[in-house]
Structure 1
């Protein structure tokens, strides 16, 4: 009898393993079409960009020559490239910090609203539903120096001295772009913080309040450590979004005045499609990819270590 039971148990075990293998095969077959599409649309073109970065390809003709590292050497020595890098750093890091601070503050307010909470959450999230292109187009008209609503309002309020050519001033344009980016990208971040706030155990908050902790102390020692995971996610996503800012620059300034407001993403676009230097633009794209990867890894490592410490 013991032998029969062992044989039955072994057969059952083998059947379970066979079923698990069939399930894995089915899952792979279901994901295979999407995997092939991803490889064809994303991976292969990315690898080809690396190849083209070593050529003088103009983006049109079928023939090109390999120039080695000349494109990279020219980029490193280009003042225009470093200007776009500076703008990208300002917009990327600046928007990541500002969006997270404002979103966390708004999430804390929404978390304490008892009446019409759904309405206010919808209002906060609405800007994220509108594409950056449309929002930028609206702001382009509002900031127009001749008939824009912003200057009209300032004039009617008696603040004529503050009326300005917002999109034509090379000293202020990057800060205007920073404001618009923060205005349009905070909805998702706010909701992530809000969902995390609502998962904070109320028992801990009540225990801290019973021990005499005020609101700031409760936030510092109870709520803030609980938000470590969402801070990591939100800051990383905002930072990546800041590195690849394109729509706002395209619509509002076209990189101008001159090349003053170019970001790295727009710099790459203009090189490849405006100046027909696809090989040079591919080299710039490779550099942007490396920058995004390094900063993302460093940020994630730091934020994860901070989660463990808390």
Structure 2
């Protein structure tokens, strides 16, 4: 590089610095300092200028955040706090008047068989969907990671169900599982297995399992892509070193790949558990909590008693209980799973 080109490069760097900071490279330099001696501003004056620029930038950032923050406070935080207040009342959701009843709503919740049935269903759907979805998604991601040419096509096909809302998918499954004209029972009858045809959504012994299957079908796409992205980020040097040491494919997965997926497991398990705890759309569309109250979940139970039975105070208390369950289970699961995470 010639001296002229080096001088041009220095000039461009200085010009960019002036445009970004609004100050010349020698602003604040002591008088009499030679022009060819580099000077870095320092001292209280320079620190004050940096602090002033930071504060002005911070107020600009807060200005961008403020609209979304105000909406979040009004739509989420304030109603949540109001729900806590209403959980100690007998409000019916319509009348402007209500009385405080203390912890009577919570006492009724803890002694309600219907509520504990909803808790049991929520645990089955929450933990069951989390384990099943993660196991299947990890297997699919491992297969996709081995695909060469058509990986994009298969990845799109796996992800497509996640683009459809749970309400629409539940509606499709409701028609497929209809006892009289559903495609599933029609196929079984035509195939010569009429005894296998069941009232899939009306049989109290299997309805929760059917909802679990449909829930897993809905949640698999996102989970698979998260696993696939982490599989492709595993350092190949570690895999090659393990193979040089004589490890087979199973040993490579157990001792190299699986530990590197710990972060993805934590994320996917947390998301799947939260989705399972708050399942509502599938129950609403498929069974409306029936037959009877057999397939009610905690989220649907809150909706039913709060808006269907006009017991908003009792429903608010149930919502607080659900919130505590989600928080405690999520924090406990994260604390356990993060112990085995490692940095790539």
Scaled to the shorter chain, the TM-score interval is over 0.9
The SS at the match of 1:303 is helix
Shift of 1:272: 0.8
More helix by share: 1
2: CA distance between counterparts of 1:104 and 1:131? 23
Q: Does residue 66 of structure 1 match 2:100?
A: yes
- Corresponding residue to 2:137 among 103, 107, 119: 103
Q: Does residue 141 of structure 1 match 2:175?
A: yes
| Deviation by residue 1:253-282 (Cα, 9 ceiling, x = unmatched) | 000000000000000000111000000000
Q: Does residue 217 of structure 1 match 2:221?
A: no
The residue aligned with 1:193 is: 227
Q: Does residue 125 of structure 1 match 2:159?
A: yes
2: CA distance between counterparts of 1:176 and 1:25? 52
Structure 1 residues 15 and 268, CA gap change in structure 2 (3 angstroms): same
2: CA distance between counterparts of 1:210 and 1:194? 24
The SS at the match of 1:168 is coil
Residue range with higher mean Cα deviation, 15-24 or 298-307: 15-24
- Higher gyration radius (CA): 2
The residue aligned with 2:195 is: 161
The residue aligned with 2:85 is: 51
2: CA distance between counterparts of 1:154 and 1:53? 49
The residue aligned with 1:9 is: 42
Shift of 1:160: 1.6
1: CA distance between counterparts of 2:193 and 2:239? 47
- Corresponding residue to 1:202 among 215, 233, 236: 236
The TM-score, its normalising length taken from structure 2, stands at 0.87
* Contact map agreement 2:106 2:317 (CA 8 A) in 1: yes
The SS at the match of 2:174 is helix
Q: Does residue 258 of structure 1 match 2:292?
A: yes
Name the structure, 1 or 2, with higher relative contact order (CA <8 Å, separation 6+): 1
Shift of 1:162: 1.1
1: CA distance between counterparts of 2:212 and 2:29? 75
The alignment of Structure 1 onto Structure 2 pairs a total of residues equal to 310
| Deviation by residue 1:108-158 (Cα, 9 ceiling, x = unmatched) | 000000011100000000000000000000000000000000001111222
The residue aligned with 2:311 is: 277
The TM-score, its normalising length taken from structure 1, stands at 0.97
Q: Does residue 296 of structure 1 match 2:296?
A: no
Shift of 1:60: 0.4
Point out where structure 2 has 5 or more consecutive residues left out of the alignment: 1-27, 34-38
The residue aligned with 2:119 is: 85
The SS at the match of 1:9 is coil
The residue aligned with 1:20 is: 54
- Corresponding residue to 1:115 among 146, 149, 171: 149
2: CA distance between counterparts of 1:85 and 1:7? 65
2: CA distance between counterparts of 1:112 and 1:18? 54
Shift of 1:13: 2.4
2: CA distance between counterparts of 1:26 and 1:299? 38
The SS at the match of 2:42 is helix
| Deviation by residue 1:214-242 (Cα, 9 ceiling, x = unmatched) | 11000001100110101000000100110
2: CA distance between counterparts of 1:309 and 1:124? 28
| Deviation by residue 1:53-110 (Cα, 9 ceiling, x = unmatched) | 0000000010000000000001100000000000000000000000000000000000
